[in-house]
Amino acid sequence: MGIIIIGLGTSLPELALALNAVRKKAKGLSVGNLIGSNIFDMLIPVGMGASISELKIEKSLILFDLLFLLFLSFIVLIFFYKKKGLQKIEAVLLIGIFVLYASLKILGF
C-alpha cells in the first residue's frame, strides 16, 4: 500500500506537467519529463539512502515489484518503438495494467 501511495504522490507533479505539455502540443517534453523523472526517482533516492545506511530489500520487492516494472517497461518500449508514439488504446491498456498491479498489491502479492 505504501508503494502505491508514495508512487502516486511523487508522480502527480510529473503527470500535471505532462498533461500541460500535451495540451500545449509539446509531446516530447511530456514523454521526456515522465521517463526522466521515473529514472531519477528510482536511482537517486535509493542510492542516497544506501550510501547513508545499509539498505535491506524484501524478497517480494525483487520477485514481484521489480519484475513487474521490468515487464511494464518492456511493454512501453514496444509501444513507443512500434508506432513511434503511444496510441489511446495502448494508454488505456497501461492504465489497466496499473490498476491490476495496485489490486494485486492491495490483496497482498
Question: Are 32 and 42 part of one and the same domain?
Answer: yes
Question: Are 23 and 61 part of one and the same domain?
Answer: no
Question: Are 68 and 101 part of one and the same domain?
Answer: yes
Question: Are 49 and 69 part of one and the same domain?
Answer: no
Question: Are 27 and 45 part of one and the same domain?
Answer: yes
Q: Please state the domain count of the chain.
A: 2
Question: Are 10 and 47 part of one and the same domain?
Answer: yes
pLDDT score of 93: 93
Q: What region does 21 belong to: left with phi over 0, alpha with psi -120 to 50, or beta? A: alpha
More confident residue, 10 or 98: 98
Place of cell 517534453: 29
The model scores a pTM over 0.75: no
Report the alpha-carbon distance of residue 81 to residue 98 in Å, rounded.
21
pLDDT tens-digit series, residues 41-93: 778 888 888 899 888 888 888 888 888 888 988 898 888 888 777 788 988 99
pLDDT tens-digit series, residues 5-19: 877 777 788 778 777
Question: Are 49 and 65 part of one and the same domain?
Answer: no
> Is the Cβ–Cβ distance between 21 and 27 less than 8 Å?
yes
pLDDT score of 43: 84
Question: Are 40 and 66 part of one and the same domain?
Answer: no
Q: Which residues lie below 8 Å from residue 65, measured CB to CB, with a gap of 6+?
A: 3
Reported as type and span, the H/E element at residue 100 is helix 88-106
